[in-house]
Structure 1
Amino acid sequence: MPHITADLPAENVPSWALWQRQLMGTMEQVVEPYLEHFTRDDGEFTGEFIWEDAWGGGSPDDYFEPFFNWPLVYLMGGSERLLALAQRQFDAVTGQLMRLGSYHKEYGFREDQMHQSEADVLFYHLCLAHPGHDRRRDQARRFAGFYLNEDPEAINYDPEKKLVLSGLNGSKGAFVAPREGQPRPYNPVGTTMEPYGLPFFDLPGIESVKDLADPGNAQRMAMAMQDRWQAGDSPANLAITSMMTNAFLMTGEEKYREWVVEYTDAWLERGKANGGLLPDQVGPSGKVGEFVGGKWYGGRYGWTFPHGFLTMHFATVDAGANAFLLTHDDRYLDLPRRQMDRILELGEMRDPRAEHMSVGANWQKQLDAIPHGEKTFLVPYRYGDAGWFDWQPMSALYPVYLWHLSMRDDDWERVERLQEKEANDWNQVHSFRDKHDAGHEQPWVNFLAGRNSDYPERIQQATYQQLCRRMAQTRADQDVGTQHHIHHWQWGNPVSSEALIQLTMGAPQPIYNGGLLHARVRYFDVERRRPGLPADVAALVESLAADRTVVRLVNTSATQARTVLLQAGAFGEHRFTAAEYESRTSEWPGHLGGYAGTYSAEPVTRQSRSVDVDGHLQVELPPSMEIRLNLATQRYVNEPSYETPL
């Protein structure tokens, strides 16, 4: 393994480097007060949320979501305490949900994958952060086994028709709704579900969501939902490919890769047959629209209700990325590419303030920056009997994520075209924090393109601002101990990983619904033999290309030398083949004594150097030194694995 020693003094320590170390240090400090406020500290219940059993389990994913990004910050060099607490919280929450009856065999049951995948991301990040954890390895096998029909109590998959048997699945197998019986009436009026409108538009006498306030209408709608969503596959289940990929990365067992390929291939064909858009219901017989009159829309978490493209495409990107990672075959990226292009083709210039957006809060800062009366590019997210509706901005995450995976010119051009059409300034850094801990893809890609040079400072300042705000909200909170909103503790999570992932790893935030961490570069602390940047060291990925990775490393310590190991890819799937850098040719720091030598050092002169690399690269960083590495990169050439080089 080649070794490089940085010998360029950081004469002007960049502020982004100081902010980066400040963020990592502060995140270590805030997790304990957060846990003290929201969780119990009493023996066997330590780590459980302060929540009475009589109130029920609610939606199980909401118990895991507050901790999903804690292992990610550890992976980049955050405190080992972050990982230890995240492991503790995963086990504590699992135990709490088992007691509440919401989990079975440590996993969800009768759960849709839109929600289950939100719970699963914490588990995936824990596996990546500590692949040698015996219990996590056992769980990875068992959880994936639920979809290989290895547990006779959990039959979820039809290998002949290559479909998941129900939109509600998990550790008790696929749930098929009974043909008889009265389901609970569906009346979302006055709840958080009201903005999503009607699941179906063809029931006589039900013209708008307000009509569901009538008990009879609410019962008829519930019966239609039970009948039409009784069984069969849906694109949301593509998120299961992440569970299988996680098991492969953890164990290397081929059966998990085979499942991902088989299942993703099946959906690729269904999308092709439907003009690029995935049909949102495939019945147990394999027929599209089996319970919705043969329509390609109207399924559970599908095109009509509730989120449409928004969450369907998360699972679609997950599957494409996972299959690409495991096979190195970029045709799998056509799965999200074709669907996104179909939606973009439908886009129009519209006044955003004249539109009803079901998740308008997602784009609030972006839309507020557009002058009143000015139009911007919007796309339809949902489709019903009357056609396309629910016009909203195209989330930049989708095209940016695809480009990051493919590095294809046409995928970059799609990003550029979207920027040209939108009325908001992509260089702006809005200070906000959503549940996905994402949403700053626009200014980040402009930084990578060389058009937004101070982005690293501004995004880290915004992250720190939101962290401080959340801690202030937690200190003022008086709702703990009451039957508060189930998202309450999620809203308080002070840890944020988006900025650090973008800057240090050259990657977008993992997709919240089941996404793995697909990144260009990963770091290991040689002295402490653990993942992440060493103490005091800051990293900035300055540009990305299909065959190049440019990263700058700075040792902010004036007294301590550090050694960092660089790996190509979060899972070692890439390979660095050469490193170009500059080294000092002048004398520095100069001798003590004499006024001239005391006042200032001689100007630093440099020479270009290069070294061949075969995989990993070790860099020695003496105190207050820095280096910029231009790394020749071969992408998707190695077998991916969670195994680490230390």
Structure 2
Amino acid sequence: MKEQGNEMPRIEATERMVPPEWALREQWLFASLNQAAKEFVGRYTEPDGTLIWQKEWPGMDGSDDPYEGFMNLALLYVLGGNRELYEVSRRIWEAITWQWTEYGQIHREFDAYYDWMHHGEGYLFLYFLGLAGPATRKDQQRSVRFAHMYTGDDPDAPNYDKALRLIRSPLNGSKGPRFTVSEEDWSTHRGILDHYPAPYEDIPGVDCASGKCAWSDDEVYRQLIAAMNERMNRGDVPLNLNATGLLAHAFMHTGEETFREWVTDYLSAWEERTFRNGGIIPDNIGLSGQIGEYNDGKWWGGYYGWRWPHGFMTIIEPLTNACMNAVLLTGEMSRLTLARSQLDANWELRREVNGQMLVPNKHGDNGWNDWRKPLLKYPIYLWTMSMADEDLQRIERIPRDHDWNEVIVPVVSGRDSRTGRETKHYIGNTEPWFQYIRGHNPGYPEAILTANMELVGRQLEKMRSEQGDPANWRSGFHEGDFSSIHIWQEMCPLYFEALVQLTLGGPMHISHGGLQHARVRYFDAQERRPGLPPGVSALVEALTADSATLQLCNTSLFNEREVVIQAGTFGEHRFTTAQRLGTDNRPQREAAEVQGKWLAVLLKPGAGIRLRLDMERYVHAPSYEGPWENRSSSDPLLLGRSAQGGGAACT
């Protein structure tokens, strides 16, 4: 194994240890997830990877949902799941892409047009496949082709105005901006949106005070489509900042500087718009660059903006994603400024109501409204990246009106009704992990693993039930209060927040398009593949700005294992030294020099080790490259025919 032209630094762990409870539970979870993956794929896919489902699906919505339902096959492989998951996840991605091309939502292997709430969800699968590596020429070619749809370099997808640094519509994709939607585009959502408020206060026939809008009423529906085409579907919105994930993905495949520059330039454009608007980010920018160009000058009223039912969540979430992506690509913590400023601006508007501190979630024609408890997880994401006191203060200023240490078992991919936590993709324990990594929740590893074990069991029961049998699914657009196309997410047993948090040392990705940022990741040196070797458990115990403390445990008494630890999910950090620690946290032996992004640890049968890995963070350009040479990474991209064609016509 090589580390930047030299032999990779290597440590041996020879001291046998009795596996702690967390280590045994991790192995149980890996084993159960491997079996669950096989059963899940067998229940819901054909041998070619296509999904067992209805024969047609209209409208522009939907391609993100099957990707979401199966994306964790790839992420499980990245963590150390069965080797067969590599081929299975790739086959299913290809099959879903083909199937939804036939339904009509995908064109040129990318969503024809939809928003970056849904693009962000669906292309998590693509980002996980990047981590799964090794990259193929096809992976690299796709990443560049998809990125060019947003850089202004694809004439068939003119989504981006280079001069104004502006994505030209909230509805965008491989066919370019969708300035005018049809009634068919929104057809699959009508029954669900009956329970949502109207996008504007002045839609004829709608009682805005009721908080509901009858999308199922044909006349109201026509009025809604007309209003959205007039005011909402042209120009840029903050949600489009989620596109920075796609460009970062292309950069990590290619190292192409233009992709990094695009991310920073586009983020800077939104910083300037926020400054022009007095410090509050506007949610609609016209095609000329003017704030509120199609909304009578109002800075609110855009697609998934301040007036939208999700409110501040769909403002701060893409901001957080974009700012974190910019730090990843540049190493500059100042790139977090815009997300920080909007958290602060929202906090400055707070008011106390019945003893509770509330902040506004929405803004409409009548000002700030929909007062709610402050969102805790977004400053946690910023702090995990920055480790800065100012971000810690943004967390600690939020009143502790509930137990931050409490571990929950999510019951739906949405929101936990009791705690108010977002549980999209069954991610619900960012708060107690934050408490643990700061030393305030010592029982967390066992608690989250127990909860995750319970979640997998519940999901398997649901999948095996009559409700989970695809033969019993009716052809239609929605079942109860959710779209029928969400069914795979709700039946999927492959949720493992515990493994991501405990082994990688970071919160689970942001569900709507966030990259899986974390402090470390692992490779199996003997199998030369991503993930922990069989029988090896890992626990990141503590993080500081310049170190990570972790344990490795080989639970097998019969097999020697070698694990490669990488500094950062994308190799963005550099290990400086590795210090063995005793159970009393005192150093043992002299620290080993590393001075690189990889460290190999040989674990004798039954052996364990505790290490403090000192590091410099965000000093390497992020990449999907692993510890071993990948011949495909140096292959040139293929060039297609010119627009003029290939010679004289046949006669």
Q: Please indicate the TM-score interval, normalised by the length of the shorter structure.
A: 0.7 to 0.9
Task: Give yes or no for contact 1:281–1:288 (8 Å, CA) kept in 2.
Answer: yes
Q: Which residue of 2 aligns with 1:423?
A: 401
Cα separation, 2, equivalents of 1:76 and 1:186: 38
Amino acid at match of 1:393: K
Give how far 1:193 is off: 2.5
- Determine helix, strand or coil for the equivalent of 1:192: helix
Aligned residue number for residue 599 of structure 1: none
Alpha-carbon displacement from aligned partner over 1:401-458 (angstroms, at most 9, x marks no partner)? 000111101111222222xx13110111111153333220111111111111111111
Q: 1:129 to 1:188 in 2, by over 3 A?
A: closer
Q: Name the stretch that deviates more: 169-178 or 185-194.
A: 185-194
Q: Give yes or no for the alignment of 1:461 onto 2:450.
A: yes
Are the structure 2 counterparts of residues 560 and 626 from structure 1 closer, same or farther at C-alpha, using a change threshold of 3 Å? same
Question: Which residue of 444, 460, 484 corresponds with 1:471?
Answer: 460
Aligned length: 593
CA spacing shift, 1:376–1:442, aligned 2, 3 Å: farther
TM-score, structure 1 normalization: 0.87
Of residues 129, 139, 145 in structure 2, which corresponds to 1:136?
139
- Residues 98-134 of structure 1 deviation map (CA, whole Å, 9 limit, x = unaligned): 1111110011112111111111110111012114222
| CA distance 1:38–1:347, shift in 2 (3 Å) | farther
- Hey, what's the Cα distance between the residues in 2 that align with 1:533 and 1:610? 24
Gaps of 5+ in 1: 352-374, 585-604
**For 2:89 and 2:409, how far apart are their aligned partners in 1?**
26
- Greater alpha carbon shift after TM alignment, 200-209 vs 440-449: 200-209
Compared CA separation, residues 517 and 198, structure 1 to 2 (3 A) = same
Q: What is the alpha-carbon distance in structure 2 between the residues aligned to residue 245 and residue 448 of structure 1?
A: 27
Match of 1:609 among 590, 594, 597: 590
Query: CA separation in 1, counterparts of 2:251 and 2:189?
Result: 44
SS of the aligned residue for 1:431 comes to coil
* Contact 1:127-1:133 at 8 Å conserved across structures: no
- 1:372 corresponding residue in structure 2: none
Give the aligned residue type for 1:33: E
Structure 1 residues 171-204: Cα deviation after superposition (integer angstroms, max 9, x where no partner): 01112228xxx85799999943244312111346
Q: Secondary structure at the match of 2:625?
A: coil
What is the identity, as a one-letter code, of the residue corresponding to 2:433? Answer: W
Mapped to 2, the partners of 1:95 and 1:229 lie a distance apart of 30
Q: Determine if contact 1:558/1:623 at 8 Å carries over to the other structure.
A: yes
Alignment check: 8 A CA contact 1:72 1:497 kept: no
Equivalence for 1:17: 23
Distance 1:317 1:461 in 2: 30
Task: Confirm or deny that 1:402 pairs with 2:376.
Answer: no
Q: Partners in 1 of 2:525 and 2:195 — Cα distance?
A: 51
Who is 2:124 aligned against? 121
Q: How does 1:161-560 map to 2 (within 5 A)?
A: 161-177=164-180, 183=183, 191-203=191-203, 206-208=206-208, 209-210=211-212, 212=214, 215-350=218-353, 376-418=356-398, 421-432=399-410, 434=413, 435-478=424-467, 480-481=470-471, 482-483=474-475, 485-560=484-559
CA distance in 2, matches of 1:31, 1:259: 37
Please tell me whether residue 154 in structure 1 is matched to residue 157 in structure 2: yes
**Residues 77 and 271 (structure 1 numbering): CA distance in 2 closer, same or farther, change over 3 Å?**
same
One-letter amino acid matched to 1:199: P
Secondary structure at the aligned position of 1:576 is classed as strand
Cα separation, 2, equivalents of 1:488 and 1:271: 38
Q: Structure 1 residue 316: deviation in Å? A: 0.9
Report the Cα distance in structure 2 between the residues aligned to 1:329 and 1:428, rounded to whole angstroms. 34
User: Which AA in structure 2 matches 1:414?
Assistant: R
Q: CA deviation at 1:326?
A: 1.1
Report if the CA contact (8 A) 1:28-1:81 is conserved. no
86, 90, 94: which one aligns with 2:89: 86
Bigger mean CA deviation after superposition, 530-539 or 56-65: 56-65
Q: 1:511: how far off?
A: 1.2
Is the contact between residue 253 and residue 623 of structure 2 (CA under 8 Å) also seen in structure 1?
yes
| Equivalent runs, 1:50-129 vs 2, <5 Å | 50-56=52-58, 58-129=61-132
Structure 1 residues 444 and 162, CA gap change in structure 2 (3 angstroms): same
Residues 109 and 172, structure 1, Cα contact 8 Å, conserved in 2: yes
CA displacement at 1:283 relative to structure 2: 0.5
**Residue 631 of structure 1: aligned partner:** 613
Alpha-carbon shift at residue 265 of structure 1 (Å) = 0.9
Q: Distance in 2 between matches of 1:399 and 1:606?
A: 33
Structure 1 residue 350: Cα displacement:
4.3
Q: CA deviation at 1:476?
A: 0.9
Query: Letter of the aligned partner of 2:605 in structure 1?
Result: P
Superimposed CA distance per residue, residues 188-221 of structure 1 (whole angstroms, 9 cap, x where no aligned partner): 9994324431211134663324464765444333
1:37 and 2:43 equivalent? yes
CA shift digits 1:559-600 (9 cap, x unpaired)? 11111111111111111101111479xxxxxxxxxxxxxxxx
Q: Distance in 1 between matches of 2:374 and 2:380?
A: 11
More divergent stretch after superposition (519-528 vs 608-617): 608-617
SS at match of 1:436: helix
The separation in 2 between residues aligned to 1:288 and 1:611, in whole angstroms, is: 56
1:526–1:564 Cα contact (<8 Å) kept: yes
Q: 1:550 to 1:187 in 2, by over 3 A?
A: same
Distance of aligned partners of 1:210 and 1:412 in 2 relative to their CA distance in 1, 3 Å threshold = closer
Structure 1 counterpart of 2:416: none
Asked whether 1:645 is paired with 2:627, we answer yes
Using the alignment, how far apart are the partners of 1:349 and 1:572 within structure 2? 44
Task: Tell me how far apart the structure 2 counterparts of residues 188 and 53 of structure 1 sit (CA, whole Å).
Answer: 15
Say which of 4, 11, 14 aligns to 1:7: 14
One-letter code aligned to 1:480? P
Report if the CA contact (8 A) 1:186-1:218 is conserved: no
CA contact (8 A) 1:583 1:608 kept: no
Please name the residue that 1:358 is paired with: none
Q: Which residue of 1 aligns with 2:481?
A: none
Which whole-Å CA distance do the structure 1 matches of 2:188 and 2:362 have between them?
18
Structure 2, unpaired ranges of 5+: 1-7, 414-423, 477-483, 629-651
1:145/1:546 Cα in 2 relative to 1: closer, same or farther (>3 Å)? same
**Aligned partner letter, 1:54:** E
Partner of 2:49: 47
Counterpart of 1:3 in structure 2: which amino acid?
R
* Paired-residue identity, %: 41
1:250-300 Cα offsets, whole Å, 9 max, x none, are 011111112111111101111222243321111000001100111111011
Cα RMSD (Å):
2.3
| TM-score (normalizing by structure 2) | 0.87
Preserved contact between residue 193 and residue 213 of structure 2 (Cα < 8 Å): no
Q: CA deviation at 1:477?
A: 2.8
Match of 2:421 in 1: none
